Amino acid sequence: MVVETTDGDARAGLITTSRGVIETPVFMPVGTRAAVKTLDTGDLERLDAPIVLANTYHLMERPGADLVEQMGGLHRFMDWSGHLLTDSGGYQIFSLRPKISEDGATFKSVYDGSAVHLTPERSVRIQEQLGADIAMVLDVCPALPSEPDVQRRAVDLTLQWANRSKAAHSRQGQAQFGIVQGGVSPELRAESAKGTVEVGFDGYAVGGLSVGEDRSEMIPALAAATACLPADKPRYFMGLGDPVGLVEAVANGIDMFDCVLPTRLARHGTALSGEGRLNLKNLRFRSDEQPIDPNFDHPLSSRFSRAYVRHLLNTNELTAGRIITLHNLAWLAEFTAQMRLSIQQGTFQSFRQKVLADWA
């Protein structure tokens, strides 16, 4: 990664892969099962999304990595020429209360209830079959809060699995990222980051945060991790998508993000805007002729009035979720672009303060 400009710890840079270049900071829409909810690949192209995230666990279950490989890999399967990052599925797996051993994780499939055993090596192999541009190692992602011994074991196993994942990885042109764990303990975060860097990866992610903990706990843990990560490698905060969280993470040296928040909010009628979150089901929008966000003009969503979108929501038309999803992703892309510009212009701190005030 080339860091072009900094403003404090905030970075504007370029990530180069075998597929091309990604400008940072960057938000990655989540296409869990090889599709972003309610959208198709053409929509993602019109949104100018440089990179999309897909989920290893769900794709290995349905349709199966062998089929995706047979179909020419995930890019061809989706007809997507942009970048793809595949999560290892660690977060999803740990929501299923798996049995954890040094070998791997055993859990019940959400699709048919059958027993599934996933090892670090199998996760690597599946992601090589999928053909993602960036693949994540399998990590141990405990809930917060957790007892200190639970976090201690997660850090130790994640590091063991990182070594095994590195040894198993062989696909040319595919970058591999390590993951830092450690809960809200700055000490464990620093230890995990240092150990993961010693293994040596193409980039580094911070996992297991933004899962319900208070921001006052999250930021010190994040700062402790990023302080130990190399400046010339991408830094990825997993599962973060609210504007305040994004600006605070960028202030602590993060480059990449993903989250289901913008698409999940959209399906429930909530739009992101300069005014904060807007619940478009609200009666006050019944005859509102303004676009979703009057201060954000985007051809994919601003042609529709708040009144029209509210009507669609209240009649359960699926089009409503699609329109708001397009809006939310376009709005976040513009928000991220503005963060990048503010770093380049040396005005990031004032941008950050405005965001904190607007979204308070």
Question: Quick count: other Cβ atoms within 10 Å of Cβ 214?
Answer: 9
Q: Residue 122 corresponds to which amino acid?
A: R
Residue 75 makes CB contacts below 8 A (sequence gap 6+) with 81, 84, 131
Facing residues of 51 across strands? 83
Query: How far is CA 8 from each of CA 15, 161, 198, 232, rounded to the nearest angstrom?
Result: 20, 34, 26, 16
CATH number of 2-259: 3.20.20.105
Strand, coil or helix: what is 15? Answer: strand
The domain ranges of the chain are: 2-259, 260-352
Q: Are 151 and 142 in contact (CB under 8 A)?
A: yes
For the chain, 360 residues long, the average pLDDT of each consecutive 10-residue run is: 98 97 98 97 97 96 98 98 93 84 93 94 98 97 93 97 98 98 98 98 97 94 98 97 97 97 98 95 98 95 96 98 98 98 98 93
Q: Are 209 and 186 in contact (CB under 8 A)?
A: no
- Catalytic machinery residues: 87, 258
